[in-house]
Each structure stands twice: as structure tokens, then as C-alpha cells.
Amino acid sequence: MKAKRRFTPRVSPELILDRLEAAYGFEGWSPRMTALDELLFTVLTQHTSDSNAEIAFTAMRERYPTWGVVVEADTTELANTIRSGGLANQKAPRLQAILLEILQRRGEFEIEFLGGLPLEEARKWLTSLPGVGPKTAAVTLAFSLGMPAMPVDTHIYRIGKRIGLIGMKTSVDDAHVIMERQVPEERVYAYHVQLIAHGRQTCKAIRPLCDRCALQDVCASASAFAVAFKKPKYKRPTRSGKPL
């Protein structure tokens, strides 16, 4: 996958990463599940929260003891089992199609071999599966196999544009590859994790907490937010009800 355009960051991505690691800490990479489990779990996270997807994934694993049983299951029954993950009627046949395709290609329900391929080859293999896009592939490669793939979710996409790591018109698909190239391979996973943490704890979607941000002095949007937050509607009320 090639980005349609290149973008020169407004500030050093490694400086951003250094500051975020100092602010949030970093425990390093360790696999959280097998590559196939990670892939199917990530499909369940599409258009829903991780917590909802975890409930759906657990329910599926408890009801169907093997992936072969999932493939052979009644699709409506499978959809009802994963209903908590949202869009179950779309995700159930997608999961079965992915599993069937893997079985036909590999002769088994296993994709750990991807860890021995070059990144682009592994990414291409995953995105050729039905319903697997760049983010799902990147999550699988990064979290289960420790490969230098950069998943870009809503947090990272928002922060990337705010700070100036990607352009305001950069597409999500292009952002994966653009941001993946911004730091050394051995720091790509940390880059993803730290930007996620920053998005959840500080650079929030509705109102970012700029006054406590470790990146305030280098953020391309800091001055715009400072002006916006002076407007009365953003002022926190006192006990008397009047803005501070």
C-alpha cells in the first residue's frame, strides 16, 4: 500500500514520542493474543468500543470451541452470539468468510507465518481477506506479531491533524503509511500506543485539555484552541453560575 502523497510534519514525530513517553510511561510490546484471534477480535471492534467487542468475542469463543465450528455455525445464530459487538448481521458472515478463506489458503486456522514476511507482503496478504482493511491489518501485525505497522484510529487521526503530523486533507488510509514512516521501526508500536493514550487522557475530541498538555508549545492547533476557549460558552461556571 502506497500513500498517495507525502507530508512533512510541522514538528519532529520523535520529539512528540519522547514527550509522550515521559508523560505516560511505556511498558513495551508483548503479544496479547494469537494473530488469528487478534484479527477476528479487531473485526468485532469495527464501529464499536473495545469493551463491547470483548464481550462479543468472549461469547463467541465460549459458544464455539474451535474456529471450524464457527465456520460451520448457522450465520444467524452466530450473529445473535456476537450481538453485543454491534453490526452483528454484517460481522457474522464476515468472520465466517475470513476463516474460510484462511482455511482454503493455508489448510489450517493459523496465520502466525505472517510474522516471517516483509511488512508490506504481510499487510497485502491480510488486506486481501474479505472485510479486512488497513487498520484491521495494522492492528493484527502490530499487536500480535510485533511488526512495525501503524494502526490509525479516530484518536490518532484527530491528534495527527491537530499537531501537524499529517495534513488536514490526509485520508485515513494514507495516514497509516505516512505516520508509519515518521519514526524508526523499533518505535512504531510505541508511537501508536502513546498517541492513543494522549487522545484518551488529554487531547480529547470535544474539548482537549490544552492547559495540561505536554505538547502545547509545539502543537499546530494550540493557539486556535486558546482563542476558542476564551469564548463564554467554554468558560467553567463558578458557584454563582457566572463564567470564570
Question: Do 49 and 84 meet the contact criterion of CB atoms below 8 Å apart?
Answer: no
Each as own residue / partner, the long-range contacts of residues 149-152 (CB below 8 Å, 24 or more positions apart, any chain) are 149/119, 149/123, 149/176, 149/180, 149/188, 150/176, 150/177, 150/179, 150/180, 150/188, 150/191, 150/192, 151/176, 151/192, 152/176, 152/179
Report domain extents, the chain: 1-25+152-244, 35-145
Spatial separation of the C-alpha atoms in residues 82 and 41, rounded to whole Å:
11
Question: What average pLDDT does range 140-153 have in this prediction?
Answer: 96
Cell numbers 494550540 correspond to what residue?
Answer: 222
Write down the pTM of the prediction.
0.88
- d(C-alpha 195, C-alpha 175), whole Å: 13
The string of pLDDT tens digits covering residues 90-107 is 999 999 999 999 999 999
What pLDDT is stored for residue 34 in this prediction? 97
As a whole number of angstroms, the distance between CA 55 and CA 214 comes to: 34
Rounded-to-integer distance, Cα 240 and Cα 184, Å: 52
Mean pLDDT (the chain) is: 92
> What pLDDT was estimated at residue 104?
97
What is the mean pLDDT of the segment spanning 139-160?
96
Q: For residues 67 and 60, give the distance between their C-alpha atoms in angstroms, rounded to a whole number.
A: 10
Architecture of domain 1-25+152-244: Orthogonal Bundle (1.10)
d(CA 71, CA 171): 34
Q: For 198-212, what is each residue's pLDDT tens digit?
A: 999 999 999 999 999
CATH 1.10.340.30 fits 35-145, yes or no: yes
Given this model, what pLDDT does residue 242 score?
44
Confidence band for 153, pLDDT divided at 50, 70 and 90: very high
Beta-strand ranges (E) seen in 42-179 are none
Backbone angles phi, psi at 34, to 5 degrees: -65, 165
Residue range 12-21: mean pLDDT, rounded: 97
Band the pLDDT of 232: cuts 50, 70, 90: low
For 36-93, the pLDDT digits (tens) are: 999 999 999 999 999 999 999 999 999 999 999 999 999 999 999 999 999 999 999 9
Amino acid 44: pLDDT: 97
CB 100 within 8 A of CB 7: no
Contact criterion met (CB below 8 Å) for 96 and 107 = no
